[in-house]
Each structure stands twice: as structure tokens, then as C-alpha cells.
Structure 1
Amino acid sequence: MAFSAMYTGASGIKAHSLLLQQTGSNIANVNTTAYKSGRTFLENLHSQDATGTISGVVSGGGSNTAGQIGMGVKLSSTRIDFKEGSYEPTSSSTDLAIAGKGFFRVAEQSSPISHYTRAGNFRFDKNGLLTDAHKNVLQGYAYDSDGKLGSTSTNIALPLKEEKNASGETIMVVKSDPKATSSVTLKTNLDSGTVDNSQDTKSPFFSLLSQWDGTKNPPLAADKYAYNSSLQVYDKNGNKVNLTVYYDKVTPSESGPTDKKYWEYIVTVSPENDGRSSTATTSAAGLLMTGTLTFSGDGNLLNQTAYSLSSNSSGNAKDLNNWSLANFDSEGKPTFSATITGEKGQGDAQQISIDLGVKSASSSWNTTGGTAADVGSNASGLPKMNDGKIDALSTTDYKGSSSTISRSQDGFGEGYLQNVAVNGDGVLSAIYSNGLSQDLYKINMYNFNSEFGLRREGSNYFGETSESGAAIEGIAKKEGMGAIMENNLETSNVDLAKEFATMILTQRGFQANSKMITTSDQLINITLGVKK
């Protein structure tokens, strides 16, 4: 029996060694990113029948069953504790943590093998790949150029492009290509108390056009208009120029409705930035559009006219006969044509719409083939937009200082990557120096039918097994997946106080089992001495 007792003690030492090994691993990884602590469970070994002893159970016939004596202990199972750790803020936007269920998936670059992890300390490498510390690449769904999200998981990589640097060397950069302006919105308040600065008795509604002289600097004297407002517009090459709208009050030469007020405007660029051949080196250089605004007596916008230089015009570009009613875009805003010349050369002709606060629902005028010369000096000769719709925020003619209420345009120049951002839905966006933000990827997330069946692979990785089931692919905040937190890393979920308590209990168990062996050894020696 002493030999059996020694075996039982040995099994206890072995089992408690394994307990201590797991506790030691937990303590060693107390500062490991996203480490999940483990628990080890023991179970008793088989028991040996001891003939003639009483086990505590009496048979129906009155005789006693044989007693049982335990033969020791063994390791039953281990379990990973997937309780979330706390979150540690960082300074890098590519440090990611998962708040809730789920795992990231990273793929090896040289093989089809993938791993699952909650450690989100990712960085972009020299090839633009978003990798972990072992150069494995984070997976996600890519957005195409139209902003449509793909359905196939792929490596997350920055869209690198080749470019020549100042030394003529080819380098790889992440940049946003320029986009030509196609729409301008400009809302202003024009002071109703101002005077008519530019006057033309024959064509009072186009006095600014007649005063403009693209061969002079400035093309329009400061005392010839009441107010102006500018914003930058772009061509497809990234050239940016100031688009300036000048306003002046109009006093019709002939009697007209007394309950209405009128302003004229011209849309211009600096003459040196005007690349149209029809206006080159002429007094019309820089003139892109002219028109009028009609207001009610209380200063609210009623209608607008807009004229652009006819494409088939010849001769004097400032001749009002060469200025025709403008075309409309799909939203009913009048358009003009511009060709921009700048640091990056001359671009192609581009159509730009302008929104001053009124649009034509039918994209039409109440007359056809009209020119600016047809208006004359009477306000009743002004065309109107058919089905004009006034915006809630529009140009006004209220008493007070003239001011710009809002202005915007949809173009932009080229921009270089400044940073990336990841939102709670896992959308990774590139932020460029031109102010543009572009969605690049939505980060994949994965879950399992039984996360306790996952296999530890080292390096903060887990691998799927038949016990865990196949990985279930999804995205953040959907179907039970957690949210993604940028500028954060999940810390270890090890509870040091608990681990130290476990370590003390394991030590006591180990000591007691070792005492069992030494005691059994003494009994064997005594038995051998009796024989002698």
C-alpha cells in the first residue's frame, strides 16, 4: 500500500506542477497586449477496491460493498478566460481594440494561413500593408472608387501611387487626385440701402459687364460695385483660382414695377487665369457669367437671370449679343464654362453651375434664344426661370451691411495622406492634406460557435479547431460583434491578486503531496527493516 500512496503523491505533484505552470504563465503575461488568462481544472483518477472494507453503501441483501480508495489526481482540462481586459489609450490611430465579442483576422504574406487575435497593435509597413508585429496583414472589405463596399476579405493596404520627387526619383506616395469644380454655392445679403455704383442708360442691368476690362489691373475699379465675394475653385489638374462674384444695385432707366428691387452680378476669374481662346488678351478676359437678381420689396429673392458667353460668338466678347441665356445642370442651376490656367498648366473647359438661392425645377427659361442685348433698360424685359424654386437659405436684399452668408464648392486639389482614422463601425478612412476624407476599408471581425474551443498558437494568436467550429465572418456592431476603438489597446485580463492566491494554494498542495511521498518512503523503509 505504501507504493500506491507514493504513486498517489506523485500524481498530485505532477498535477499541481501543471497548476503552477498555468498560474505562472498568467502572471508572466500580466502586461501582454490582449492576453487571455487560463484556468486549469483537475479531476480524480480511478479508485482501487479495498476488499473487506465498508464504502458506506449497504447492499439490499445486507452484505457490505467493497470500499474504494482513490489513486490520485490528474489534469482534467484547461479553459481560456475570454473576459475583456481594460483599455489603454495610445497615440496611434492604428492601435485598435475590440469592445465586446470578436477577433481580428491577420493573414500571412507568404502562405494562405490566417490567425485570429484581439491584439490590435497594427502598423503600416513600407509597402502600405497594415500589419502586426509579425508582419501578418489585417483583413477587411475594400471600398471601390464609387464608395461601394466589397464582400470579399482582402489585405488592408494603402493605395500607393508612383510620383517623381524634386530630384526626379520615383517614390511611392498616398495621395488624393484633384477633382474639378462642377458646382458653386454662394449665398449673400446685399445691403438694400446701397447705391447704384455702375450705370449704363442703355443697358443698366449689365453695367458691371461694360465696366470690366480684362486688360487692366484691377479689371474692375473698387468704386464700380457694391460688394464682392470670392472662393477657390479647381480644375482637373489641381489648379486653384479665385472665383469672384461682383454685385451692384440696378436702377432701371425706364419705369417698371415699384414693388421690386434689382441687382446685377458678374462671375469672374483673374484674367491671367482665363484660358479661353475667345477672350484671350481682350477686355472680356476673366468674365464667365453675367446676370441679374430680382427681389421683393421686403428683400426676399424672387428670380434670377444668367447669361454665359456663347460658344459660337465672334468679334467683341463684351457685345451683349454674344451673351446667351445659360444652360442648366440636372438640379436646375445655371451653368457657365471655364478654362483655368495655373501653375499646373491649362486644363480643359469645364462646366460649373452656380447656386445663388434659386433653381428652375424644369431647367428652362420662359423664353428661348434670348441674349443680354434683348433685355434693354426696362425691367419687364428680364427673363425668368420657369418653375423657380427659392431655397430656404438664399441671397437676400435686407437692410444692413452686405455680407457672405455661406459659400461652398465641390472641387479640390491634390492632397497627400496626413493620417488614417477608424470609427466604431470599423471603417478605416484616409485623411488627406486637401481636407478630403476617403473610406478605404471596413475591418473584418470574426466569432466562433465556441470560443473556448480555440487553440492558443502563441504570439497573441488563436487558431480554429473542430471544437470551436469554423470562423463566422462579420463586421463591427453587427450580429453580436463588438465595436472597434481606435487609439486604444486591450490589456491583459489577468487578475494578479487572484493569481497570487491560486499560487499559494497550489504551493500548499504541492508541499502536501511531496510530504506524502516522503512519508510513503519512510513506511517502505520501516517495512524493509522489519524483514531484516
Structure 2
Amino acid sequence: MGFSAMYTGASGIKAHSMLLQQAGSNLANVNTTAYKSGNTFLENLQSQTATGTISGVVAGGSSNTAGQIGMGVRVSSTRINFAEGSFERSSSSTDLAIGGQGFFRVAEQDSGLSHYTRAGNFHFDKNGLLVDPHTNALQGYAIDSDGNIGTTSVNVALPMKEEKNASGQTILVVKSDPKATSDVSMKTNLDSGAIDNSQNPAAPFFSLLNDWDGTKEMPLAADKFAYHSAIQIFDKSGNKMDMTVYYDKVTPSESGPSDKEYWEYIVTVPPGSDGRTSTAATSSAGLLMTGTLTFAGDGTLLNQTAYSLSSNAAGSPKDLNNWTLTNFNTDGEPTLSTALKGATGEASVQQISIDLGVKSASGSWNTPGASAAEVGSNASGLPTMENGNIDALSTTNYYGSSSTISQSQDGFGEGYLQNVSVNSEGILSGKFSNGLSTDLYKINLYNFKSEYGLRREGSNYFGATDASGAAIEGVAQKKGLGSILGSNLETSNVDLAREFGSMILTQRGYQANSKVITTQDQLINTTLGVKK
């Protein structure tokens, strides 16, 4: 047993050395992104029976088991502390933190090997991949142009496209394709005190159409209408142009109900933007729709008519027999078919619905197929929308100045990516110069049956093991997984005060165990000196 004390002290030195190593690793990573500190636990070694001794006291004339003397100590286990670190604001929108449970998954680009991490310091590389500092790609579900989220995890990458720069070199850019305008909404207040500026006794409801002349630089004289409102629309090539709606009060040649007011309107584009062959270089160039609005005596909208040039028009495009009631879109809005051309690209056919505040629930007119020529001069000849529903916000006929209440359209030109953002659900969205915001990916999060079974792999990575179980794929805020914080990074969860306290105790333990060895050495030397 002379050397047992030395072995016992040596085990203590070894164990405390590992304790110090763990504390040192924690302190070294005090500023490491999303670092999870570790805890090391000790256990005593098997004890040795001390012959001729007993354990406990003599009771009833019998003794307990033989006494035991400890043989030292060893490290029993280490455990990762997965407590959440604090969050630090970042200037980069692609820096991500997880509030709650979960890990990001990144994949090696060559092998596809997966790693799991809480460190979200990602950036886009030259190829548009969202990668970590080791060029491994973050995983997520792709979102298509219709907003459908995929079900297979893929590399998060920007939709790069090739384009020629000013020098003729091919470069990669991220841009959104243009979208032709398909829906225009315009709500106005038309002054009930306005006068009838444009008059045509034979067809008073279509005086503006009669006065429009697309061959002139100013197709409609300023004194021929009571009010106009313009909005920019887009063709399929992304070219923008003004769509202008002109309004004028109507005085029917034959008197109608005295409690109603009537207005006519025309929907136009610049004649040069009209790509229809049937209207090219004619007085109808730029004239897309004509119609009427019927108001109650209190100024509220009652109904609307809408006519567009028939595709089978014969003779003059100004002939009212060629203007027929429009079709409706699925929302019950009057819809015209036209061809528009801008500065670039060819003229392209597109359908545009016009919402002035009333929609047909059944998508039909009460006189289907009627032409504008059949209206005549009497208000009773005006068709109406079947099952017409008036919007809460619609065109009105109140006394006072005419004004545009609201207007919108759904088209846009091409746009270049300006920035990206990530919301709490992990949706990565791109913001483009044309004002479009597009959802690109939903970032994956992963959980494990036992996160304590994960293996540290260095570089802020963890690897799955049999003890942790396979990774369970999910998304933020679902099935117990946490939220994602954009423009934030999780900091280390190392507690400096605790680590310094642990280091002091470890130092004392190390010194005490080294003292056991030196003391035992002195005893051995003393024993050897007895022989002399």
C-alpha cells in the first residue's frame, strides 16, 4: 500500500487537470458565437478493502463489512450546457439567432454532409448561396412564385440570373421579372355640381368617346371633361405608361328619373402605347373602354356600364355598334382586352379589369350582347350589372370638388434585389427595387430526442449520434421549435463568475493532490532511510 497514496494523488491531479481544461475551454470561448459551455463531473474510483478493519460500529456482538479505503477519483462524464445565450443586434440581415429550441442545419457543398449549429452568422457568397464561415450552405424549404412552400430541404440560394452589363460582360444578378397590369382600381368623388362639358345629343352617354381623337397630340381637349385621374400601368415587358380615366356629367336628351345622376367615362392610354392593329393611326387609338355611372340622389353609386371595342369590329372603331358590353373577371369586375406596347418589346395582348366600386356577383349584364348604339339618348336604355354589389369604398357623386379617393394596380416592371429580411417564422424575403417583396425560402430548424447526446465537432458544429437520435426536421414556431430572429446573433452562454470560481476550486484541488504525492514520497524516503 506504500505507493497507493501516490496513485490516488495522481488520479486527483489528472481529474483536476481535466476540470481546469474544461474551465479553460469555456473561458476561451466566452465571446464565441452561440457557444454552449460544458460541465465536467467527477466520481470516486473503486475502494480497496482494508484488512482487519470494519465499516461502521459493532452491534449485537457482530460487525459490519470490512472497512474500505478510496483509491482516488476520475472524470465520470461531461455535459453540454444548452442554456440560451443572450442576443446581440447585428447590422447584417442574414445574421440569425434562434429564440428557444432548435438548430440550423448546414450542408457541405461537395459531400452534402450535414452539421447542426446554433451559430447563425451567415452570408451570401458570389453564387448566391447562403453560407456559414466554412462555406457550408444553410438549409430551407423553397417557396415558389405562387407562395407554395416546398417539402424537401434544399440549399438556400438567391435566384441568380445572367445579364449583360454596360461593358457587355455576363454577370449574375438577382431580379424579379415584370408583371403586366391585370387589375386597376380607381375610386373618385365626382362633383355633383359639375356641368356637362362634352355633349352629343344623338348619344349623350358616349360624348367623350365621340370627342376623343387619338390622331392629335392632345386627344381630348381640356374643356371637354369635368375630371380626370391617371395611374401608371405596365405591359408584359415591364414598360410603364399612363392609364387615364376621363369623367364628364351627362344630360340625357330624354329626361329620366329625376332622383338620379349620370356620368360617362372613358379609359385611355397614350395613343402611341396602343398596340392594336384595328385602332392604329385612327381617332380611336388609345381608347380602351367607355361606360356610364349611375348615382342615387344622395350621391351614392347605384350601377355601372362598361363597353370595349369588339374584336370583330367592322368599319370605323368609333361606330358605337362596334362597342359591346365587356366580360367580367372572377371577381365580377368589367374586363377589357387590349394590346399595349412600350419603349421595348413587342405589343402584347393583356386583360385588364377596371374596378370603379361596383361588381357583378353573377358576372353578367341584364342585356347580354348589347352594343353602345342600342342605348340611345334615354337613361332607361342603360343596361345594368346583374346582382351588382357596391363596395364599401366606391366612386361617389357628392357636392364639392372632384378628387381621387384611392387608386391601385397590380403590375410592376423588372426590379433588382435591394435587401433581404427574415421574420420570426423563418421566412426569407427579398425586397426589390420595383417595390415587390417576394418570399423565397422558409428556413428549417431541427431538434433531437436528446440534445445532450450530440457530439461537438468544432467550428460551432454539433453532430448527431445514437445517443442523440436522428435529427427531427421542422420549422420555426412549430412543434416546440423556437423563433428565428433576423439581424441578431446568439452570444456565448459562458458565466464568467462561475468559471472563475470553478477555476479557483480546481486549483486548490490540484495543489492538494500534488501535496499527497510529495508527502507520500517523503514517507517512502524516510522508510528507506531506516535501513541505513
Please tell me the residue identity of whatever aligns with 1:467: A
Please tell me the residue identity of whatever aligns with 2:150: G
Please tell me the residue identity of whatever aligns with 1:292: T
Partner residue, 2:204: 204
Query: Mean alpha-carbon deviation: is it higher for 411-420 or for 460-469?
Result: 411-420
Partner residue, 2:194: 194
Aligned-pair distance for 1:74? 0.5
1:348-363 → structure 2 map (5 Å cutoff): 348-363=348-363
Partner residue, 1:493: 493
1:438-449 → structure 2 map (5 Å cutoff): 438-449=438-449
Q: Does the CA contact (< 8 Å) of 1:339 and 1:346 recur in 2?
A: no
Please tell me the residue identity of whatever aligns with 1:480: G
CA–CA distance in structure 2, aligned partners of residues 118 and 278 of structure 1: 64
Q: Does the CA contact (< 8 Å) of 1:16 and 1:509 recur in 2?
A: yes
Q: Does the CA contact (< 8 Å) of 2:474 and 2:481 recur in 1?
A: yes
Please tell me the residue identity of whatever aligns with 1:266: I
Aligned-pair distance for 1:112? 2.9
Q: Does the CA contact (< 8 Å) of 1:57 and 1:65 recur in 2?
A: no
Aligned-pair distance for 1:64? 5.1
Partner residue, 1:100: 100
Partner residue, 2:461: 461
Q: Given the alignment of the two structures, is residue 326 of structure 1 paired with residue 309 of structure 2, yes or no?
A: no
CA–CA distance in structure 2, aligned partners of residues 493 and 241 of structure 1: 57
- What SS does the corresponding residue of 1:179 show, helix, strand or coil? coil
Q: How many residues align?
A: 532
Q: Does the CA contact (< 8 Å) of 1:295 and 1:301 recur in 2?
A: yes
Partner residue, 2:413: 413
Q: Given the alignment of the two structures, is residue 478 of structure 1 paired with residue 478 of structure 2, yes or no?
A: yes
Partner residue, 2:170: 170
Q: Given the alignment of the two structures, is residue 276 of structure 1 paired with residue 280 of structure 2, yes or no?
A: no
Partner residue, 2:365: 365
- What SS does the corresponding residue of 1:345 show, helix, strand or coil? coil
The two structures have a TM-score, normalised by structure 1, of 0.98
- What SS does the corresponding residue of 1:339 show, helix, strand or coil? strand
CA deviation vs aligned residue, 1:284-341 (integer Å, no higher than 9, x gap): 1110001100000000111111111111213322222221111222222111122111
- What SS does the corresponding residue of 2:348 show, helix, strand or coil? coil
CA–CA distance in structure 2, aligned partners of residues 112 and 58 of structure 1: 68
Partner residue, 2:121: 121
Partner residue, 1:303: 303
Aligned-pair distance for 1:252? 1.1
Please tell me the residue identity of whatever aligns with 1:340: L
Q: Does the CA contact (< 8 Å) of 1:239 and 1:340 recur in 2?
A: no
Please tell me the residue identity of whatever aligns with 2:259: D
Query: Mean alpha-carbon deviation: is it higher for 215-224 or for 91-100?
Result: 215-224
Q: Given the alignment of the two structures, is residue 507 of structure 1 paired with residue 507 of structure 2, yes or no?
A: yes
Q: Does the CA contact (< 8 Å) of 1:2 and 1:521 recur in 2?
A: no
Partner residue, 1:383: 383
- What SS does the corresponding residue of 2:351 show, helix, strand or coil? strand
Partner residue, 1:422: 422
CA–CA distance in structure 2, aligned partners of residues 294 and 12 of structure 1: 97
Q: Does the CA contact (< 8 Å) of 2:35 and 2:492 recur in 1?
A: yes
- What SS does the corresponding residue of 2:327 show, helix, strand or coil? coil
Q: Does the CA contact (< 8 Å) of 1:58 and 1:65 recur in 2?
A: no
Q: In 2 relative to 1, CA 11–213 (structure 1 residues): closer, same or farther, beyond 3 Å?
A: same
Q: Does the CA contact (< 8 Å) of 1:89 and 1:489 recur in 2?
A: yes
Q: In 2 relative to 1, CA 164–60 (structure 1 residues): closer, same or farther, beyond 3 Å?
A: farther
1:14-29 → structure 2 map (5 Å cutoff): 14-29=14-29
Q: Does the CA contact (< 8 Å) of 1:59 and 1:65 recur in 2?
A: no
Structure 2's unaligned 5+ residue stretches are none
Percent identity of paired positions between Structure 1 and Structure 2: 76
CA–CA distance in structure 2, aligned partners of residues 130 and 60 of structure 1: 77
Partner residue, 1:87: 87
- What SS does the corresponding residue of 1:46 show, helix, strand or coil? coil
Partner residue, 1:256: 256
- What SS does the corresponding residue of 1:166 show, helix, strand or coil? coil
CA–CA distance in structure 1, aligned partners of residues 507 and 302 of structure 2: 90
- What SS does the corresponding residue of 1:223 show, helix, strand or coil? helix
- What SS does the corresponding residue of 1:19 show, helix, strand or coil? helix
CA–CA distance in structure 1, aligned partners of residues 58 and 451 of structure 2: 45
CA–CA distance in structure 2, aligned partners of residues 230 and 346 of structure 1: 24
Query: Mean alpha-carbon deviation: is it higher for 367-376 or for 398-407?
Result: 367-376
Q: Given the alignment of the two structures, is residue 344 of structure 1 paired with residue 344 of structure 2, yes or no?
A: yes
Please tell me the residue identity of whatever aligns with 1:9: G
Q: In 2 relative to 1, CA 57–175 (structure 1 residues): closer, same or farther, beyond 3 Å?
A: farther
Aligned-pair distance for 1:57? 4.7
CA deviation vs aligned residue, 1:44-63 (integer Å, no higher than 9, x gap): 11111111223215476513
CA–CA distance in structure 2, aligned partners of residues 114 and 518 of structure 1: 50
Partner residue, 1:181: 181
Partner residue, 1:148: 148
CA–CA distance in structure 2, aligned partners of residues 512 and 276 of structure 1: 98
Q: Does the CA contact (< 8 Å) of 2:454 and 2:468 recur in 1?
A: yes
CA–CA distance in structure 1, aligned partners of residues 306 and 157 of structure 2: 47
Partner residue, 1:218: 218
Q: In 2 relative to 1, CA 65–367 (structure 1 residues): closer, same or farther, beyond 3 Å?
A: closer
Q: In 2 relative to 1, CA 70–279 (structure 1 residues): closer, same or farther, beyond 3 Å?
A: same
The two structures have a TM-score, normalised by structure 2, of 0.98
CA deviation vs aligned residue, 1:345-391 (integer Å, no higher than 9, x gap): 33311111111111112222121332222222111111111121111
Please tell me the residue identity of whatever aligns with 2:374: D
Structure 1's unaligned 5+ residue stretches are none
Q: Given the alignment of the two structures, is residue 30 of structure 1 paired with residue 15 of structure 2, yes or no?
A: no
Please tell me the residue identity of whatever aligns with 1:113: L
- What SS does the corresponding residue of 1:51 show, helix, strand or coil? strand
Please tell me the residue identity of whatever aligns with 1:244: T
- What SS does the corresponding residue of 2:364 show, helix, strand or coil? coil
CA–CA distance in structure 2, aligned partners of residues 173 and 133 of structure 1: 23
Query: Mean alpha-carbon deviation: is it higher for 152-161 or for 58-67?
Result: 58-67
Query: Mean alpha-carbon deviation: is it higher for 500-509 or for 342-351?
Result: 342-351
Please tell me the residue identity of whatever aligns with 2:225: Y
CA–CA distance in structure 2, aligned partners of residues 86 and 64 of structure 1: 54
Please tell me the residue identity of whatever aligns with 2:103: F
Aligned-pair distance for 1:461? 0.3
Aligned-pair distance for 1:181? 1.2
Q: Does the CA contact (< 8 Å) of 1:92 and 1:487 recur in 2?
A: yes
CA–CA distance in structure 1, aligned partners of residues 221 and 99 of structure 2: 62
- What SS does the corresponding residue of 2:398 show, helix, strand or coil? coil
Q: Does the CA contact (< 8 Å) of 2:35 and 2:493 recur in 1?
A: yes
CA–CA distance in structure 2, aligned partners of residues 232 and 384 of structure 1: 29
CA–CA distance in structure 2, aligned partners of residues 499 and 64 of structure 1: 42
CA deviation vs aligned residue, 1:118-166 (integer Å, no higher than 9, x gap): 0000111111111000011111111223221111111111111122222
CA–CA distance in structure 2, aligned partners of residues 424 and 483 of structure 1: 5
Please tell me the residue identity of whatever aligns with 1:205: F
Please tell me the residue identity of whatever aligns with 2:25: S
RMSD of aligned C-alpha atoms?
1.3
CA–CA distance in structure 2, aligned partners of residues 75 and 368 of structure 1: 90
Query: Mean alpha-carbon deviation: is it higher for 239-248 or for 330-339?
Result: 330-339
Aligned-pair distance for 1:493? 0.1
Partner residue, 1:233: 233
Q: Does the CA contact (< 8 Å) of 2:425 and 2:484 recur in 1?
A: yes
Q: Does the CA contact (< 8 Å) of 2:341 and 2:348 recur in 1?
A: no
